[in-house]
Amino acid sequence: MGGGLELSRGPTMKEKLVIIGSGPAGWTAAIYAARANLDPVVFEGAGSRTMIPGGQLMFTTDVENYPGFPGGVTGPEMMMAFRQQAERFGTRIFTEDVVKVDFSVYPRRIETNMGKVVEADAVIVATGANAKWLGVPGEEHLARTGGGVSACAVCDGALPFFRDKTLAVVGGGDSAMEEAIYLTNFAGKVLLIHRRDSFRASRIMAERALENPKIEVMWNTVVKSVHGEEEIRGLRVADTVSGEERDVEVGGLFVAIGHEPNSGFLDGQLELRDNGYIHPAEPGRTATNVPGVFAAGDVIDDYYRQAITAAGTGCMAALEAERWLAHGGIEQDVAVGAA
């Protein structure tokens, strides 16, 4: 992997296990690791416009499909409960971003935006993925407040808020087709908005969407703004050919233009798939190509992207890290390699 990165030379923390990220995967890993007496440290992130500590669930008002909450729970409430449970068992938490890592040295070295330098015997990367947003006026406000803008139809589409309404889906790939088809189970009508005159989705998915009587496609159309103060009222859209703009009434907007894994800070030090998601060393496991570094949650999952699957891989990563450390960690790996 080449030489080490230039990291700050301030006071260094020496830790057994560091967890980077604070969504369902990160907190679940922390709970399991803390109960195993690994004394984990979690860097939960400092927050930005599109990602805050707690991950994508912090933008979800009602979660009805996570087992154990028969009356539902808000995303922020769930993440606070996860966080408190991790703290209960002794997890130490820093509200800082990890900006650099050096996995070419052992212990692995980590630096935060506050200049903190950490040496860790094992690391779990659980930094999640960012939904791509349109970046138009009104979108972010209504996404944050639960006013009817979402990036996950499977997460939110069945909520009473969206039932029997005209809903809009923006996108032209397989994800957009899947979301539009899924929403027809609850919506009165689904508007599938795409900026071109043909989909980039696979033929079978495009045909399913086009043949669904509840789906109306708005070709060559882009969203210019989202209307509504407390709840979405409609969209301002524009024709990409004529430039003509008009208003469309909708009761919900689902943005399905993809996700970006939060893996850029790794600077190529872990093996990634072509789309930027971390590639586990073995299928169905969380170990990466670097001994002692594990990955969990949406940063390795470009398919399911659900809270419960993220939590499951967080559990897996903590168990794998615990067993790796218990069996001698890097010293065992070196001994095996020399055998």
Separation of alpha carbons 335 and 81, rounded Å: 41
Residues above pLDDT 90, as percent of the chain: 79
| The pLDDT of residue 8 is above 60 | no
Instruction: Kindly state the helix (H) or strand (E) to which residue 80 belongs, with its residue range.
Output: helix 75-88
| Model pLDDT, residue 2 | 37
| The pLDDT of residue 111 is above 60 | yes
| pTM score, whole prediction | 0.80
Are 244 and 267 within one domain?
A: no
- Domain of residue 198 covers 133-255
Closest CA to 293 of 312, 314, 327, 321: 321
Are 191 and 234 within one domain?
A: yes
Q: Count of residues for the chain?
A: 339
What's the structural domain count of the chain? 2
| The pLDDT of residue 338 is above 80 | no
For the residues 192-203, what does the mean pLDDT come to? 95
SS in 3 state form for 46-100? CCCCCCCCCHHHHHCCCECCCCCCCCCECHHHHHHHHHHHHHHCCCEEECCCEEE
**Is 156 annotated in the active site?**
yes
For the residues 152-180, what does the mean pLDDT come to? 93
| Model pLDDT, residue 264 | 93
Are 25 and 97 within one domain?
A: yes
> Is residue 221 assigned to a domain?
yes
The active-site residue out of 62, 97, 121, 155 is 155
pLDDT band at 170 (very low <50, low <70, confident <90, very high): very high
Closest CA to 67 of 20, 131, 124, 24: 24
For the residues 256-277, what does the mean pLDDT come to? 94
The active-site residue out of 62, 97, 152, 301 is 152
| Model pLDDT, residue 60 | 73
Last residue of a domain, one of 205, 235, 255: 255
Are 27 and 49 within one domain?
A: yes
**Is 152 annotated in the active site?**
yes
The active-site residue out of 97, 121, 156, 298 is 156
| The pLDDT of residue 337 is above 60 | no
| Model pLDDT, residue 3 | 39
Encoded tokens for 218: 């708005």
Last residue of a domain, one of 236, 255, 274: 255
Are 199 and 99 within one domain?
A: no
Closest CA to 125 of 261, 325, 304, 274: 261
> Is residue 5 assigned to a domain?
no
Are 152 and 211 within one domain?
A: yes
* Local structure of residue 210 (DSSP, 8 states): H
| The pLDDT of residue 139 is above 90 | yes
CATH number of the domain at 304, please: 3.50.50.60
Are 251 and 263 within one domain?
A: no
**Is 155 annotated in the active site?**
yes
Are 242 and 281 within one domain?
A: no
Last residue of a domain, one of 202, 232, 255: 255
| The pLDDT of residue 61 is above 80 | no
For the residues 126-146, what does the mean pLDDT come to? 91
Are 250 and 280 within one domain?
A: no
